[in-house]
Amino acid sequence: MSTLPVEEPGEVPLRRQPTQRRSARRVERMLDACADLLDEIGYEALSTTRIAERAGVAIGSVYQFFPDKRAITQAVTRRHVERFMSRIGRRFLSEDYGGWWDAVDAIIDEYVEMHRTVPGFRVLHFGDVVDLHLLDGVSDNNTVIAGRLRGLLLKEYGLADSEEFDLAIMVAVEAGDAVLKLAFRHDPDGAPQIVAEAKRLIRGYLNRQFAGAAG
């Protein structure tokens, strides 16, 4: 039986959902402003006042939707997760891979590309910088990501679902996360040789776990 969460991350903790297009655009501006400020000043210096000023909205508009800066940061992190998964999904649809090992490389490439180009991602990653449970009140952030990736790999490559599979994906995500963070500590664009080692490490580990698996 699977031990990883299979559900999508929960709803963003908005005080109220925007019901009009204008309100939805205003919320997106707040999230964009938060992401930009995270890159510029970091989480500790972030404030709802600064977010409101950068987004060009009244502070009252911020509090209509978010109780505090943590909630806005949580919403940005969830947006990162959705973008990450949708970008991987598009790659899986548009590119032909020799097997699951090439898909794993593509997942790492997407992580590196988002780290380089998506505002707020290099500061937040998937939320662990702020709170290990930012994405889910029960599971830690990497477990949520592992669950999402597990679903993609099962769907695309027909690997056998099991607790052993879950454990292997969880270990691969934790190991990859640690080594890729090391890559970006050594180079703001991600040290290529360390990124390559991350791929080699994860591929070798999963190959031992999935020897003879589909794909």
Collapse the DSSP code of 183 into the 3-class scheme (helix H, G, I; strand E, B; otherwise coil) and give the result.
helix
C-alpha separations of 114 from 29, 56, 106, 173, 210 in Å: 19, 26, 12, 16, 28
Tell me which of 170 and 4 has the higher pLDDT: 170
Tell me which residue of 109, 120, 96 sits closest to 180, measured CA to CA. Answer: 109
Residue 47: pLDDT above 90?
yes
Tell me which residue of 61, 74, 60, 56 sits closest to 23, measured CA to CA. Answer: 61
Mean pLDDT value across the chain = 83
Percent of the chain with pLDDT over 70: 80
Collapse the DSSP code of 172 into the 3-class scheme (helix H, G, I; strand E, B; otherwise coil) and give the result.
helix
Percent of the chain with pLDDT over 90: 41
pTM to 2 decimals?
A: 0.79
Residue 103: pLDDT above 70?
yes
* Continuous segment of H or E residues that includes residue 22: helix 21-45
What domains can you pick out in the chain, each with its CATH number? Answer: 21-209 (1.10.357.10)
Instruction: Name which of 33-37, 104-108, 155-159, 177-181 the model is least confident about.
Output: 155-159
C-alpha separations of 141 from 54, 59, 113, 135, 174 in Å: 28, 29, 20, 6, 10
Task: State the Cα torsion 114-117-123-124 to the nearest 10°.
Answer: -40
Q: Which tokens go with 163?
A: 């607790």
